[in-house]
Every structure is written in C-alpha cells, then in structure tokens.
Structure 1
Amino acid sequence: MQASVVVVGSLNMDLVTRTERLPYPGETLFGQSFGTVHGGKGANQAVAASRLGARVAMVGCVGDDAYGLQLREGLLAEHIDCQAVRTVSGSASGVALIMVDAGSQNTIVVVAGANGCLEPQDIKSFDEVLQGAEVLVCQLEVPVETVGYVLGRGRELDKIVILNPAPVSGPLPAHWYANLDYLIPNETEAWALSGVTVDSLESAELAARRLLAFGARKVIVTLGALGALFVSARRVVHFAAPKVEAVDATAAGDTFVGAFSAALASGKDEDEAIRFAQVAAALSVTRAGAQPSIPLLRDVQDFAAP
C-alpha cells in the first residue's frame, strides 16, 4: 500500500487513571478507574489520519514485549501500514502515565522506551515509504536527530512537511524551520518556542509571527476552546472551536494534526482542512482515552452536516 500520509513518531501504551482532582506533590489520592489504552503522539496522529480517510503508514519502534505486540496489532486493525515499525530486541515499549481529573484536565509522564531507539538509519531503510507520501508528519517523542533527518528529507522530496512540536523542552534547532510547511503548536508550545506568553488571540498571533520569522512557512496555533489561529506571511485567520461538552482532552491535539494531514492529502485547501480538523478534535474531547476518542470520518461528516 502506498500511503498518502506518513507519520514518523512514537507508539506508547497509555496507563490511564481518572481522579476527582490531580494530586499535589507528595500527596496520595484514591483513583476512580484505571485502564490501558493504545497511544503515543505518533500513533495517535496516524490513527486519526486513517480513521478520517487517509492511507497511512507509521514509522517507529516498539519493544519486544506484550505492549509492543498489542500496539502493532492495534495499528494494523486501523488499516495502517506497519512495515516501517521496528521491534527492538531487549527493549520495553514506550509508556505514558496519564491522570485525568473531573474537569478533564490531565497530566502526562512519558517513558520513551523503544521510541528512543528510532534512528535516522531506520528512516533511510524505509525511504521508499517517505517517497510515496504526500504529507509527512513528525512530533518530538522520538530522538531529535531522527526528527531533523525526516524534516530535511521531506523537504528534499518536496512533500508537505508538518511538525507538531510536542512535547517541547526548549528551542528547536534553527535549521529545522526552513523545512516546515506547517508548524502546529498549542499555547504552551508556542510560548516555549517563541518566548511569547500565549493567553489570547493577539498574543497567539505575535508568537506565530515570531515563528514565521524563524523560517516556518505557516503556523497554526491550537487554542483549545478558543479554536485555532492560522498565521502566514499573507494572512491571519481565526477558526472558532465547535461547542461540545468536554470529557477528556488527552488526544485532542493529536486528532487535530492527524485530521488536518488527512484533509490536505485528500485535496482540501488549508481552510477546509483546519475546519475539518477542528470538528474532529472537538468530537475527540467528548470521549475518554487517546485512540478510543478519535472519531471516524462519518462522525465528522455527520457533525458538520447542516
């Protein structure tokens, strides 16, 4: 299968606990529930793109443990090409420890595991997968040198290159920006990359313009209930978020990125793609979990129907 969207990134097993509120440092609370859910920002975005109409291939690593087998089988069940998902002998698969409170806010601790073994050589070994794509998507849960290689190779191949800079721990390498067609941060990530505190549409635009000055072609700042702000050298557009009742925001950002990628690959223009992604992300927060919350194409079409 030739994939129209190729996602290079992480595969994690999410260990999810729901509590009335998040604990203070040093405090022990009783949780209300616990479950294991397939996740990882890369895998989440791949699943979103696949459920929302794209032909998708995943590039990443899992451990040779039970979680690794389950994660691979989960992607295959979503009709995602896994030929470029490598099993790392002697390594545990990545995990994410997630707590969600009654207000749907969450805290997440990620242990990279096999995700940390994804190397540029892995990407080179599956270069034909990248060559067949229209859209390449990266995040920051795999080694930075690997992400940098993918971004550069995507530019060489003249693909649509998307970076979701999450999780972010500091400035991006300066030379990355010129390889990005779309940089998609949330408020916190936009602040970390630009130095501008993002707490309004005006400050989001200021942060985005600074990221454009660094070299990114276009920036989309996702703003939760405030929607999303698209900024390029030519225009600024605010896209309001659909009104929904939030349950769990864990995979909202990943759903947005995957949906946006799928929409671009299907031929939608960027405004249509952003509106489509906004609906998909809004629907995802009405359900619990990471991948279980990601809607299907018909869900988005039904929601958007007049």
Structure 2
Amino acid sequence: MINKNPLVATVLAVFLVLPLPAAAQKPRVTLDEFFNSVGFTALKLSPDGNSVVIGIERADWDQQIYRKDLWLYRDDGHATRNLVKLTQSGHDTNPQWSLDGHWIAFLSERKISSGKEGDAADDSEGKGKEISQLYLISPGGGEAFPVTQGDEEVHAFSWSPDSRTLYFATRIPWNKEQQDTYKKDWKDVIQYRAAERGDMIFSITIDEAMGRDQAAGTKEIPEAEKRSGATPGAKGLARTLWRVEQLETSPDGRQLAFVTTSISERQEKINEFEIYVVDLANASPERPPRQLTHNEAVEQDLQWARDGQHVFFRVDLGSVEGKYKDTQTRLY
C-alpha cells in the first residue's frame, strides 16, 4: 500500500539519502568473520510455545566440515531464558516436535553399526555407515537414540497426532540375498539409472524404538532381522515408484500425504512430481497410494487444513491449471 502522507515520505527520503553515522563507523567484515558466520537452517516452535529448536550451520575448521547442530531456546515467561546446545554430532538436521512436546525427532548422519549382515562395503571394512537416520531426543536433555537402523537413508518423516508413532520413507530396502545377487552380477560397476528404485513408507512406534534401544547389546538379533535391509520393528505401509520428498500426517491421524520427486533428484520428467495419499487404516505395500494431483507442476511444502479436508501446497515451477508454464509462486 502506498503512503500518501507527504511528511512520512519526506522523512523516509531523508533516511534513504543520508548516510547513517553508526553504520559508517562499523568495521568491515573480514574474510575470517565471513566464513565463520552462522547460518540458520531450521526454526521449530514447541507445541506449548515456550521453546524453539534452532538448526544452525557453521564452519568447523578443525574437522574440515560445515557443522549442522541443533540448539534449544527456552522462555518460561518469567524472565528465565536460556540457550543450550541440544546435539553434538555436527550432522543433525530437520527437527520436528512431537505434538505432546515430549520429543524432538531429527535426521542425523552419524556412524552407527546396524549389527546386520550384508551391510555396504564401508561396514565390511570395519567402518561405520554415515547415512541419514531418524533420531529422537528429549527437550529435557539426555542422549539422542536412533529410531531407524536400516541400510537406506531416511528421506522424510512425520509424527502421528498422538505422538506415539513416527512415519518415515526410505529407498525400498534389499535383503541379504538381493544384495549378494546384485554384487555378484555387477561387482563394483555402477549402473546408470538401471539400479534406481523407488521408496517405501514405514511406521514405527516410539515404544518399539525405545525398547530396542534399551535392549541393544543384551539380546541376540534374530537371523531374519540380520538379513533384512529394513529397520527392525518397522511396518511397511506403501510403495512409490519415486523418491518421497515430504510426509505429512492428517490432523485426525487417518491419512498420510506425501509429495514425490525424481529418484535421482534431477528435474527431467514432470510426472515424477505429484501428491499422493495413503489411507492408514488399510495401508499395505501391495496397495497403491491414491494420487491426488495430475498436472505439470512441481508441488512442494504440503500442509493439511485443520479439518483434514484439504491439503495446501506451493508451486514455484510449472502449472496446475494447464501445460507447463512458470509463473510467480502460487498457493493451492
């Protein structure tokens, strides 16, 4: 809206033209200061509104990496405020609060040992696998523990409304026999495109994940779990030909919406970018998810309406209404 008050316009013009003394006195940013700057990757408000999880990224010259850590800011409303470092690994991203506020789930590329047979070459050489897994940590403190321990990295995840279950998507896992057959046929050859495969969506309860973490090292792992490439205790819900970019649970907990992208994450075919819905009451890997969109647009940033009757999404590239055409960002 244009301000037609001449006095306001004059004052604004003066401030725009005249140099600011305070700014002129500040020293220039050095190269070291520039490269040591901190970037914010996430800001997630707690359900009670008293805490914020902050994702940051900064240079770590000693380890020669860009650290990705999570911090927790608290404000109890009584002049008591504090900022504490929540995670320490340097590889932690994508924090999400449980709706009861008791847990923070996040993705982390930490070295873990799955204890399974048929792991990737890195494990056969005695090295831990650094792939993105799903972790939980209490905002009250303590150590984070892994929810997923499969052979494939986690692409996306979402909480159930009752905070008892986590849904997550990974590439369709292979068991020991499938991995051995592939290695026998192709050795160290990397197939271009032919080896690509879509994603599977799983669910796992928090009680299951906590129980397995507490029992780690005290119980023998069943042979079937050792030979499986999936996370122990996780239940398969749906398959897709593509990579899952985002998962969102409906407010009533009955449906799971997800948006896909290409397996290679290259933008080549517009039909790889669509929105789907899984009916959780009848979910099965053998039952195809229901496709909601059929257009020439790249959908992103899914969000359910509070009544669960609609799914909002944003489009930056392509067109929902007709043939592919780039316009300004639109909300649907």
TM-score, normalization by structure 1: 0.32
Q: Which has the higher contact order (CA 8 A, sep 6+)?
A: 1
Identify the structure with the greater strand proportion: 2
TM-score, normalization by structure 2: 0.30
Higher Cα Rg, which structure: 2
